[in-house]
Amino acid sequence: MQFQFQILATDQNARRAQLHLRRGTVNTPAFMPVGTAGSVKGVHPENLRETGAEIILANTYHLALRPGDKHIASLGGLHKLARWTKPVLTDSGGFQIMSLGKNVRVSEDGATFNSHINGDTLQLSPERAAEAQINIGAEIAMVLDQCIALPASEQKTRDAAERSARWARRAKKFWDDDPRVSHSEGYGLFAIVQGGMSYELRKQCAAELVAGDFSGYALGGLAVGETQHEMLEVVGAVAPLLPRDKPRYLMGVGMPDDIIKAVIRGIDMFDCVIPTRAGRTGLAFTGCGTLNLRNACHAADERPLEEDCPCPCCRADPAGGFSRAWLHHLVRGREILAAALLTVHNITYYQRLMRALRGAVERQSLAQFARDFAAGAESPARGSEASLPEPR
């Protein structure tokens, strides 16, 4: 049964809301750390919870290949296996239709992948992708869509968008018929609006999907090579076409600045590999910019990444509070502790940003927050969360 979605405050087009899911409430605007194979790389679930993350994203293609969605179901589901007690959203495998390129064949029935691991064949139809996500135990499943790289021809973009809309209906029918999600409260299936850079195609796709009455709506096929300006144009044009009373999710986005500007345009949910991948390559997000800890300028810097950050890398008590100098040393030595510390810091940074955004919407001061952030005056830490109650 579909989850409850409750809008607590608005500021122009921006919304501050809650998704009441099977395994917990997600406060929006929300950022979902990416755990492709069911585990956010290098982060213990206990530390992940401490970052403030209330939902993570896992990937159907990857988990269906290894360890297998039926295997996951037989062991009690992903939450139990990965010891993550809060909600999970699974992407459907549609992104891999694009990213795995020549290893994928697409027909009206679905997609056939040659495994990137061992060449085994994996078939994902709209129905099979939905089934896999239910097997995994995700609170929010995504319809299988056909994601394409940009730029693309009008015809190719139209074909993919129309097929995605047909696949979405098939996924919905399958999902509605599975008692594991349709007879329990707090689950949902999101449709994905495709259509590339074309307003007309996006509008047609959105209209078809809205008629299908999904639990939420995602914007797909963005953050795939277009400029930020182009991306925001699509977001600004499409968000108003989506139901006001359903969550809106911008897939694969992005940098903090992208997120702020998309929240202003009415987006509620985000996921992106940037904070985690950056952490593994020695990059740290801070209120004073993005630091590359490999750089020699950090070699003797005794400051933590951020003075007031509560993460296991920055906090001074009882054993944290690593200096930039030491992080520089760990990064240069390719110590995996560096990857782990920077990853958990970056996720914390993103979660504090989302918290600050929620507070700004509640106080109807989002425009000011965005200006301050752009001017470097507003760090996530300074934008404090509002006084609105947060039901558990």
Of 69, 258, 268, 271, the active-site residue reads 271
Shortest Å, Cβ 300 to a second copy: 7
Nearest C-alpha neighbor of 34 from the set 11, 61, 58: 58
Token representation of residue 178:
């599975």
Task: Determine which residue in the list 101, 107, 119, 302 makes contact with a second copy, applying CB under 8 A.
Answer: 302
Shortest Å, Cβ 323 to a second copy: 6
Give Cβ neighbours of residue 186 (< 8 Å, ≥ 6 apart): 1, 3, 20, 21, 22, 23, 139
If DSSP codes are grouped into helix, strand and coil, which group holds residue 2? strand
Interface of this chain with a second copy, residues 42 to 81, rule: CB under 8 A: 42-46, 49, 66-67, 71, 74-76, 81
Of 69, 91, 258, 268, the active-site residue reads 91
Residue 49 and residue 26: Cα distance in Å, rounded?
A: 12
Angle at 275 between CA 249 and CA 353, to 5 degrees: 65
> Is residue 297 within the footprint of a second copy (CB under 8 A)?
no
> Is residue 39 within the footprint of a second copy (CB under 8 A)?
yes
> Is residue 282 within the footprint of a second copy (CB under 8 A)?
no
Residue 341 and residue 41: Cα distance in Å, rounded?
A: 11
Which range binds a second copy by CB under 8 A, 150-158, 163-171, 205-213, 337-345?
A: 337-345
Q: Which residues pair with 98 in a beta bridge?
A: none
Shortest Å, Cβ 35 to a second copy: 9
- Would you say 7 or 337 has its CB closer to a second copy? 337
Count of residues that interact with a second copy, criterion CB under 8 A:
45
- What number of other Cβ atoms are within 10 A of residue 313's Cβ? 25
One DSSP character per residue, 265-330 reads TT--EEE-SHHHHHHHTTEEEETTEEEETTSGGGTT--S-S-TT--STTT--SSS----HHHHHHH
> Is residue 220 within the footprint of a second copy (CB under 8 A)?
no
Residue 29 and residue 17: Cα distance in Å, rounded?
A: 7
**213 assigned to active site:** no
**For the window 240-279, what string marks contact with a second copy as x by the rule CB under 8 A?**
----------------------------------------
Shortest Å, Cβ 85 to a second copy: 7
Residue 254 and residue 222: Cα distance in Å, rounded?
A: 10
- Would you say 304 or 383 has its CB closer to a second copy? 304
Q: Which residues bind a second copy (CB under 8 A)?
A: 37-39, 41-46, 49, 66-67, 71, 74-76, 81-85, 280, 299-300, 302, 312, 318-323, 325-326, 328-330, 332-333, 335-337, 339-341
The residues assigned a catalytic role are 91, 271
